[in-house]
């Protein structure tokens, strides 16, 4: 196994439809583009990444649990579960890992139901409205550790 820090990059429901779904909000880049960006950024930063996407809350919870003991950090765009899921909040908290919350769109410029996040209170950082570049920034932030604080 590699001795490089390992990061889990998780995408939640509907993010498999990136590129097709509301391109005026989410842009034209696909999930494959997000995963390629994460792979490239990770190799530049001396990290390894595993990228996963699911439309199922429980599957996301299981993958987060598995990150305990095997990953050094988690980048998560939980999609709509951001605004609803105490289960994802609890699982992320259990890992004790640094969590970076990412949203492609600026959720604060959208409907009020997108303004609340169950993830933000336990996240080290929250990145939104930067398009898919937000994932790269999240990996950079994890690679830097706490030195920027």
> Residues in the site for ligand DQA, rule: CB under 6 A?
14, 77, 79-80, 82, 103-105, 107, 114
* Biggest distance spanned by C-alpha atoms of the chain: 44
Shortest separation between residue 146's beta carbon and ligand DQA, angstroms: 25
Q: In this complex, which beta carbon is closest to ligand DQA, that of residue 6 or of residue 114?
A: 114
Q: In this complex, which beta carbon is closest to ligand DQA, that of residue 67 or of residue 76?
A: 76
Q: How far apart are CA 48 and CA 28, in angstroms?
A: 26
Q: In this complex, which beta carbon is closest to ligand DQA, that of residue 38 or of residue 104?
A: 104
Active-site residue flag, 26? yes
Shortest separation between residue 113's beta carbon and ligand DQA, angstroms: 8
Measure Cα distances from 74 to 41, 49, 91, 123 in Å. 15, 10, 11, 10
- Alpha carbons within 13 A on the beta-carbon side of 128: 20
Sheet holding 99-103, edge to edge: 48-53, 6-11, 73-77, 99-103, 125-128
Shortest separation between residue 114's beta carbon and ligand DQA, angstroms: 4
By beta carbon distance, the residue nearest ligand DQA is: 79
Place of tokens 């439809």: 17
Choosing from 26, 81, 118, 135, the catalytic residue is 26
Q: Are 7 and 51 in contact (CB under 8 A)?
A: no
Choosing from 81, 89, 103, 135, the catalytic residue is 103
Q: In this complex, which beta carbon is closest to ligand DQA, that of residue 80 or of residue 137?
A: 80
Shortest separation between residue 12's beta carbon and ligand DQA, angstroms: 7
Give me the active site residues, please.
26, 103
């Amino acid at each position: 196994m590699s001795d490089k820090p390992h990061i889990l990059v998780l995408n939640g429901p509907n993010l498999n439809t990136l590129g097709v779904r509301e391109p005026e909000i989410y842009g034209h880049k696909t999930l494959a583009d997000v995963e390629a960006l994460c792979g490239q950024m990770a190799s530049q930063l001396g990290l390894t990444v595993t990228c996963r996407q699911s439309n199922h809350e429980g599957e996301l919870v299981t993958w987060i649990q598995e990150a305990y003991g095997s990953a050094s950090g988690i980048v998560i765009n939980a999609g709509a579960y951001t605004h609803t899921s105490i289960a994802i909040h609890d699982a992320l908290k259990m890992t004790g890992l640094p969590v970076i919350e990412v949203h492609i769109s600026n959720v604060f410029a959208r409907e009020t139901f997108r303004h609340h996040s169950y993830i933000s209170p336990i996240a080290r950082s929250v990145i939104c409205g930067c398009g898919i570049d937000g994932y790269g920034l999240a990996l950079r932030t994890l690679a830097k550790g706490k030195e920027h604080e």
